[in-house]
Structure 1
Amino acid sequence: MTSTSIPQLLVAAGSSGSGKTTFTLGLLRALKRRGLAVQSFKCGPDYIDPKFHQLSSGRPSINLDLFMMSPEHMRAVYARHTQEADAVVLEGVMGLYDGYVRMHGSSAEVAKTVGIPTVLLVDARSSAYSVGALLYGFKHFRQDTEVVGVVFNRVASENHYRFLREAAEDAGVIPLGYIPKTKLLEVPSRHLGLSLRELQELDALPEDVAALIEKHVDVDRLLEACMRPRPAVPAEEAVPTSAPGRKIAVARDEAFNFIYEENIRALAAQGEVSFFSPLKDEALPECDLLYLPGGYPEFYLSELAAAERSRSSIAAYAAAGGRVLAECGGMMYLCRTIRDEEGKAYPMCGVLDQEATMEGMRLRLGYRKLRLGGREYRGHEFHYSSIVSQEVGEETVGEQLTARDEVAPTLLYHRGNVLAGYTHLYFAEQDPFALFS
């Protein structure tokens, strides 16, 4: 694809729960059905929505996050991934202007950083002409935010849409159509194992939404309103390296798959990256660094416990001084056991002398700054499990802060050359081996 301009847009809303993901999935599928190569992105640190995106478009979806990424890096990532695309769709997070501090890191700021316009998705239940004031506010609240159009969701009838269309026109926002009210279009819970079978079963959702979009949304006008110059790829980013030529092993399967694509690129700058599956009882490949990302080990406790070759090879590698970076689910896998919601314990790798448990599940989340060895790394914490305290706790290192620089209780466990904690790190702009120096 070499055209100088392509459709590029942010799908945003006034709040969470407005239907952004549902609409995004349908739009991705509708564009794919038109024969377009559509590249999707997701604002924020979320791992799950990009999996739904890939299901809908057939292409990997990439995270854009201004807390974890510098603006220069974000622009480079965005440009690099759009070079072969015919259209670009970026799904926002929360409300358009919601950031980690005021609007910092918000969907609006991300769209401004990469230079694309916004299409609002407005939940129109129990509202009519008054949405004009809402649209006017979103369009004019920040002069550097380009709100070009609106699609209304959960619309009761054509007559209902007539009021909404008139309101949009009077607010100076292009009315692009609507999604009718239906109980069929609900994205499943994000707390899923997302196995290949489950993903295939979910394929009907983007198909159904795409059909509604083609019927009720002026897709051609939407694409025309969002035509923007294709971004030029800057000079190749210098990915920090310490000793290129090393071997890096990455666990990747249905239990461990919370992986930022750009992190893998950073690891590949260090040498050869190979993937293996603890769930399939594959032995750890020869490596200079083992990366155990997060995922859903709690859904596969019996299988992981039975995979003795994987567990023993990882334990032996760690005991011999091998470097291990383990995040969230990967950290749980290194524990002696993981308890399920009923308290039943399953043996794991035993690298860390502690237990993880799903008992009394409670969500803990937020951005984190990890300060270690005079360096700062950034990431995100999101989990329902917890670590059971031991009489003799593991050594901990570093300090973790929130986005507002308040002390976070999140720990980074350290044993030998093992670093393990709940924070999912984004290290694509840094040398991941520096964590161990």
Structure 2
Amino acid sequence: MTRAIIIGAPRSGSGKTSVTIGILRALARRGIKVRGAKSGPDYIDPGFHTAATGLSGVNLDSWAMSPDLLNALAGNATEDADFIFLESAMGLFDGIPAGQGRTGSAADLARLYHLPVLLVLDVSGQSTTAAAVAKGFATYDPDVRMAGIVLNRLGSERHRKLCSEAIETLGLPVVGAILRDPTLNLPERHLGLVQAGEYADLMTHLDRLADMVEKSLDLDAIMALAAPFSPASGSFEHALQPPGQRIALAEDAAFTFLYPHVAAHWRQAGAEIVPFSPLADEAPVQNCDVCWLPGGYPELHSGSLAAATNFRAGMARFAETKPIHGECGGFMVLGEALEDAAGETHAMLGLLGHSTSFAKRKMNLGYREARLRVACPLGPQGALIRGHEFHYAQMIATGNDEPLADLADGQGNPLGASGYRRGHVSGTFFHAIAGSA
């Protein structure tokens, strides 16, 4: 029987990602089959979970995924794991106003699967007040049970004693106490953590986090807090279906943001994914059925992409007869031009007519639901697709292409036409997660 626990916190930046990765790596080093999961639409943390454990990470998103798909993915995650540590996005209860159990918060998953919570508290700048925060979490929702507390960013042994004694008076066990150590912080950039695949010495860093966890947390007590995890049966009816039998997938430092569950389902459904690297000036294999440009960081590599003549020519050839779809960063590269952070403009593929700028930044963030105006690699005409938008780049020229979809936010408020299409080429700023239900 697989056992699971949610690692939550009052807010982003509390240290739950470092704690989660450290626990995953420490248990994997002990020979325990352990898997990481992530609530919500974060596509970076599952890469660290995979690296730490050797088992692929998975997103579980109660807003974007139908209950059947959520159960199917959760059930798959239990198949070869003794323990699952499910890391919360943002604060534990943070989601959007939506129907019961469909807010996108980790608390939805705690209620649905009756999973306990290991609460990570950043106690820098406070002592016994931490007990008031812990009590608030313990009593806020009787269906979300706090099972234990990890104190993070402690300044001293006295600091630990003050916090621990106050919290344990409430009947909540303190199962970890981590001293402040800025060298353990994971480096970040504008869309979140620097990705796992970009570290030259990733395993060294993961092992340092595991060493910290072994020293600072009672891992045996934490494993004992985990509860049996046996999701109801589900289905992949509302998963994103493979857009073709052979899928040419851009995959390198500029193109990385493809959800693990999407690629896994494509393979399980019988599709073959054929990766290629635009930064290595590779073109999509021409006998593929469709080409997919995921999001990533093209704004950091726009000069190299502009100079990749083989990539550019190969994409133009592919677009003559076969579908191409780009999400977020991929959408930016499909356009005419991309202005980088320094204000220098680089020619992109020109397969769509828009241009974007990373010099003129504005954060766009939130859940999205799109109704497709025409068939494209995302689905048939009229299909509803749920996803997520998170970017700082802005459109500086719209071009004259036809819109791809009608967009709404997570609460159904119309946002207008979104994305573009021309011939066999389509693109959007939002990342697709699943079909709507």
* TM-score normalised by L of structure 2: 0.89
Could you tell which deviates more after superposition, 103-112 or 114-123?
Answer: 103-112
Q: 1:405 to 1:331 in 2, by over 3 A?
A: same
Q: 1:266 to 1:424 in 2, by over 3 A?
A: same
1:142 maps to a residue whose letter is D
Matches within 5 A, 1:91-106: 91-101=87-97, 104-106=103-105
Q: Could you list the per-position Cα deviations for residues 171-212 of structure 1 after superposition, in whole angstroms to 9, with x for gaps in the alignment? A: 22121121112222212114466474x423344443333222
2:419 maps to a residue whose letter is L
User: 2:85 — aligned with what?
Assistant: 89
Equivalent of residue 27 in structure 1, options 23, 30, 37: 23
User: 1:413 — aligned with what?
Assistant: 420
User: 1:380 — aligned with what?
Assistant: 388
Matches within 5 A, 1:103-142: 104-142=103-141
Aligned-residue sequence identity (percent) comes to: 35
User: 2:42 — aligned with what?
Assistant: 46
Give 3-state SS (helix, strand or coil) of 1:294's partner. Answer: coil
User: 1 CA distance for matches of 2:236 and 2:358?
Assistant: 41
Is the contact made by 1:265 and 1:428 (CA closer than 8 Å) also made in structure 2?
no
Could you tell which deviates more after superposition, 303-312 or 254-263?
Answer: 303-312
Q: 1:15 to 1:244 in 2, by over 3 A?
A: closer
Q: How far 1:410 moved relative to its partner?
A: 6.7
User: 1:247 — aligned with what?
Assistant: 246
Superposed CA RMSD: 2.5
User: 2 CA distance for matches of 1:384 and 1:244?
Assistant: 28
Give 3-state SS (helix, strand or coil) of 2:415's partner. Answer: coil
Equivalent of residue 393 in structure 1, options 391, 396, 400: 400
Q: Could you list the per-position Cα deviations for residues 118-159 of structure 1 after superposition, in whole angstroms to 9, with x for gaps in the alignment? A: 100011123222322221221121111121000101112222
Q: How far 1:277 moved relative to its partner?
A: 1.9
User: 2:291 — aligned with what?
Assistant: 290
Q: How far 1:282 moved relative to its partner?
A: 2.1
Is the contact made by 2:240 and 2:262 (CA closer than 8 Å) also made in structure 1?
no
Matches within 5 A, 1:14-413: 14-101=10-97, 104-191=103-190, 194=195, 196=197, 198-226=198-226, 228-231=227-230, 234=233, 237-238=236-237, 246-268=245-267, 269=269, 271-285=271-285, 286-320=287-321, 322-372=322-372, 373-390=381-398, 392-408=399-415, 411-413=418-420
Q: How far 1:215 moved relative to its partner?
A: 1.7
User: 1 CA distance for matches of 2:4 and 2:121?
Assistant: 19
Structure 2: 5+ residue stretches without partners: 373-380
Q: How far 1:378 moved relative to its partner?
A: 0.6
User: 2 CA distance for matches of 1:243 and 1:95?
Assistant: 33
Is the contact made by 2:48 and 2:196 (CA closer than 8 Å) also made in structure 1?
no
2:276 maps to a residue whose letter is F
Is the contact made by 2:71 and 2:231 (CA closer than 8 Å) also made in structure 1?
no
Which 4+ stretches in 1 moved above 6 angstroms?
239-245
Give 3-state SS (helix, strand or coil) of 2:301's partner. Answer: helix
Q: 1:266 to 1:416 in 2, by over 3 A?
A: farther
User: 1 CA distance for matches of 2:359 and 2:137?
Assistant: 42
User: 2 CA distance for matches of 1:101 and 1:414?
Assistant: 32
User: 2 CA distance for matches of 1:411 and 1:78?
Assistant: 31
Give 3-state SS (helix, strand or coil) of 1:258's partner. Answer: coil
User: 1:433 — aligned with what?
Assistant: none
User: 2 CA distance for matches of 1:330 and 1:343?
Assistant: 20
Are 2:434 and 1:427 aligned?
A: yes
Could you tell which deviates more after superposition, 300-309 or 254-263?
Answer: 300-309
Is the contact made by 1:111 and 1:118 (CA closer than 8 Å) also made in structure 2?
yes
Q: How far 1:331 moved relative to its partner?
A: 0.8
Q: Could you list the per-position Cα deviations for residues 309-358 of structure 1 after superposition, in whole angstroms to 9, with x for gaps in the alignment? A: 221121222233x2222101111111122221222222222101232221
User: 1 CA distance for matches of 2:258 and 2:304?
Assistant: 21
User: 1:434 — aligned with what?
Assistant: none
Could you tell which deviates more after superposition, 263-272 or 398-407?
Answer: 263-272
Q: How far 1:423 moved relative to its partner?
A: 0.4
Is the contact made by 1:150 and 1:173 (CA closer than 8 Å) also made in structure 2?
yes
Is the contact made by 1:266 and 1:429 (CA closer than 8 Å) also made in structure 2?
no
Is the contact made by 1:334 and 1:352 (CA closer than 8 Å) also made in structure 2?
yes
Q: How far 1:425 moved relative to its partner?
A: 0.6
Is the contact made by 2:243 and 2:290 (CA closer than 8 Å) also made in structure 1?
no
2:293 maps to a residue whose letter is L
Could you tell which deviates more after superposition, 148-157 or 381-390?
Answer: 381-390
User: 2 CA distance for matches of 1:410 and 1:329?
Assistant: 19
Q: How far 1:163 moved relative to its partner?
A: 2.1
Give 3-state SS (helix, strand or coil) of 1:273's partner. Answer: strand
1:187 maps to a residue whose letter is L
Q: How far 1:168 moved relative to its partner?
A: 2.1
2:115 maps to a residue whose letter is I
Structure 1: 5+ residue stretches without partners: 431-437
